[in-house]
Amino acid sequence: MTKTQLSRLLTFLVAVAALTACSKTKTSIPQSYRNPGYEQTVFKKLMVIGVAENQESRQAFEDAFVKAIAEQGGVAQGSWGVLPQSEQLTEEEIRAAIEAGNFDGVLITRLLSVDKDQEYTPASTYNNPRTRYYSGGGGGFYGRGFYGFYGTTYAQVHEPGYFETSTTIRLETSLYAVANDGLVWTGQSETVDPDSIPDARESMTGAVAKKLKEEKMIP
């Protein structure tokens, strides 16, 4: 491979990386509440509970949350590791697992909604190339002769109307203190047009973990 070919290849790879970065799914947290009674509370070890009937979904989501919290410097463990039951967990089971694992906080996430919105863009018609006017030449555009007029207006472009569908996944995450069952923080996240379920999971858990770090609820 020549230096020129190598240079072109590197340029191509950089461009691909940039496009990939630009297409990364984004999650926002438009609504959140921090209980003022817990402003100094920092959790050393969180139990993560994903509310889901499907066991595989629960495990995958809890694992993603544990990873995201660890990347922010916190410590967490998914409930499926100590409570592998596929049915609804009882309060006694959860409290026993919390005590045995020395957890000081419980993070619970549930799905609020998956909304699909459609936006319609109406049809449009225009000339291509667009009409141009000239300052001189006796009559401007119309003074260019019949073919100047005909050649420009002939290339008329019609774009039909179309619908664009946008998908928004909304989840609610709440953090409780084990010591007194008090609500410390709650927030609603919105993930728009994810490429896949794993992509949505990573984006959402990463955004919430970052928020917990920013508000100093994890070390």
Residue 50 belongs to domain with CATH number: 3.40.50.800
Amino acid 184: pLDDT: 97
Give the chain's domain count: 2
Amino acid 25: pLDDT: 86
CA distance 71 to 65: 10
Amino acid 166: pLDDT: 87
Amino acid 116: pLDDT: 87
Residue 94 forms part of a structural domain: yes
Residue 12 forms part of a structural domain: no
- 155 shares its domain with 108: no
The pTM (predicted TM-score) of the whole model is 0.71
- 97 shares its domain with 178: yes
> CA distances (Å), 177 to each of 16, 43, 64, in order?
44, 8, 21
Amino acid 216: pLDDT: 95
- 89 shares its domain with 143: no
- 77 shares its domain with 108: yes
- 42 shares its domain with 82: yes
Residue 71 forms part of a structural domain: yes
- At 45, give phi and psi (nearest 5°): -155, 120
Amino acid 160: pLDDT: 76
Residue 7 forms part of a structural domain: no
> CA distances (Å), 188 to each of 33, 52, 104, 140, 219, in order?
9, 17, 22, 59, 22
- 129 shares its domain with 36: no
- 154 shares its domain with 174: no
Amino acid 152: pLDDT: 57
- 147 shares its domain with 67: no
CA distance 158 to 216: 55
Domain of 147 in residue numbering reads as 123-159
Amino acid 119: pLDDT: 77
Regions of the chain with pLDDT less than 50: 3, 5-6, 9-10, 12-23, 130-139, 141
- 96 shares its domain with 178: yes
